[in-house]
Amino acid sequence: MQGLAYRYAAGDPITAGRARDLPLPSGVNPARSPDWAVDVSVFFPNFLTAIGANTYFTHQMWPLAVDATQYEMTYYFPAPATAAERFAQEYFFVELRDLLIEDLNTLERAQANVMNGSIREFHFQDHEVVLRLHNATIRQWLKDAQANTSA
């Protein structure tokens, strides 16, 4: 059914091999890669945008406690011109929502295993250099906060 949704979408919500020809602003898919899907930008520390053609979505994470986070995802679509476009939007919403349901459940299981001591450390590979920087910066923030509290 994905193919039908593609056919009636106003734009390419995820890549359909036409990214080079899409009328995108110069800052989006700047390399004009034909296999482009979305541009993901992270605004440190807790806001992420994923900009695609004809849609974008954001993730925002709010820490509530050492073992709890409120996770917010927001989808943005233009108003559908036709009723068939509305179907395509719902289809892509469902696909992304199901991915989120899977990914967040994986995160919760990992967290449970951190809390029970089964996982004691994470290894960031070389291609996860941005995660290394994120982790190091957060640790420095916490260290600074503790120093200020105890001062």
Partner 1 sequence: MVESRLPPAFVDLETHLERWALPNTVARMQARDSANMADIEAFYGALVPRLPAALDYLQGIAYGAEMAACARNLVDLCLSIAEIPPAVEWYGQPRVIDGYAGSVLTITSELP
Interface positions with partner 1 (CB under 8 A) = 1-2, 4-5, 7-8, 77, 79-87, 89-91, 93-95, 97-98, 100-102, 104-106
Measured CA to CA, the distance from residue 45 to residue 48 in angstroms comes to 9
| Minimum CB–partner distance for residue 64 and partner 1 (Å) | 14
Q: Which is nearer to partner 1, 82 or 137 (CB)?
A: 82
Measured CA to CA, the distance from residue 92 to residue 11 in angstroms comes to 12
Q: Taking every pair of C-alpha atoms in the chain, what is the biggest distance, in angstroms?
A: 62
Q: Which is nearer to partner 1, 104 or 130 (CB)?
A: 104
| Minimum CB–partner distance for residue 42 and partner 1 (Å) | 22
Q: Which is nearer to partner 1, 20 or 97 (CB)?
A: 97
Show contacts of 78-86: CB within 8 Å, 24+ apart. 78/10, 78/54, 80/10, 81/10, 82/8, 84/8, 85/8, 85/9, 85/10
Output the CA–CA distances (angstroms, integers) from residue 82 to 3, 5, 8, 100, in the order listed: 18, 13, 9, 27
| Minimum CB–partner distance for residue 126 and partner 1 (Å) | 28
| Minimum CB–partner distance for residue 47 and partner 1 (Å) | 17
Q: Which is nearer to partner 1, 22 or 84 (CB)?
A: 84
